[in-house]
A = this chain, B = another copy of it.
Amino acid sequence: MKHFTSVADVPDVPTLIAAAAAAKANPYQDENLGRHKTLGLFFFNASLRTRLSTQKAAENLGMKVMVVNLNQEGWALEFQDGVVMDGNKPEHIREAAAVIGQYCDIIGVRSFPELKSREADYAETVLNGFRQWSGKPILSLESATRHPLQSLADALTIEELWKQHPDYGKRQPKVVLTWAPHPRALPQCVPNSFAEWMGHPSAGLDLTIVQPEGYELADEFSSGAKVSYDQDVALEGADFVYAKNWSSYHQYGQALKLDRDWMITTAKMSITNSGKLMHCLPTRRNVELADEVLDGSASVVIQQAGNRVPAAQAILKQLLLAR
């Protein structure tokens, strides 16, 4: 695996999930693999889970980690070619990425969408700039359109839990990705990636995406899923409920309405098949998810967050081995 920016970079997803499970069972099995290797983590946007879990994963592998908060430290980069750089941007991605590539063996990059232009965001300018000019493996720490580190942790969580289910081996689990309300307009990264990873036949899932009219994800992501507009119908018999807000793809970046009826409550969960509640966090309590659900036994959000470490570790290991 040369880069990790989407599921398309992964040769075989089930093997990667198994590697993440192995890393969780024995976190220090490869603690010398990363000796003399440096991971650079570059954040254009704030991060808590991704930063800490990826740093810990790298250190479990014996790597050194350097963290730079580019947004705070004033490094506005120019990504367009051919411009006369007499404005506010002190450096071009061609130099910045190539220089960073001199100091780091693997480069992690977080860059959120601006949610102003679909074309600009879906071009993945920042991530692709690093991929093109750094000469080193790129690890997405969440880009404009995807969050694959989260998706691998999600897949590991579902596998762990489904293996303990009485129906394991008898049928596929029913997984429902449901839109949920939020006061702000959020990226589509997490649902895009979740749909892309879980909608693939090799995932062995029965995936439904449910959202209000106007919140449909791009076809390239949702094509492996059933699509529904009725949350109550979709939740029927669900083994896993993945709740998440996202802004509109078709009316790009807009929060069309804050439909409080879509909040996940105990009543909603009672429609499911004793379903587990998942969320990538952070979440707005009593807007996306009711207190009663988050604090109840159906919630697996903390286990899911904990799985960010072995997920990142399995990926870093593959990137180290491919060098």
Contacts and interface: CB of A to CB of B under 8 A. Distances in A.
Interface in A70-122: 72-75, 78, 81-87, 90-92, 94-96, 98-100, 102-104
A86 B259 CA distance: 13
Interface residues of A, number: 61
Interface string A25-53: 00110000000101010000011110111
A183 interface: yes
B68 A102 contact: no
Contact of A96 (B48, B73, B100, B306): B48
B36 A28 contact: yes
Contacts of A166: none
Given A46-B74, A52-B100, 12 more contacts: A47-B73, A48-B99, A51-B68, A52-B68, A53-B102, A78-B285, A85-B183, A95-B301, A99-B306, A102-B305, A103-B306, A103-B309
Q: Kindly list the 9 A-B residue pairs having the minimum CB-CB distance in the complex, ordered from nearest.
A: A91-B282, A102-B306, A85-B284, A86-B183, A84-B286, A99-B305, A52-B103, A46-B73, A98-B302
Interface of A: 27-28, 36, 38, 40, 46-49, 51-53, 55-56, 59, 64, 66, 68-69, 72-75, 78, 81-87, 90-92, 94-96, 98-100, 102-104, 183, 258, 281-287, 291, 294-295, 301-302, 305-306, 308-309
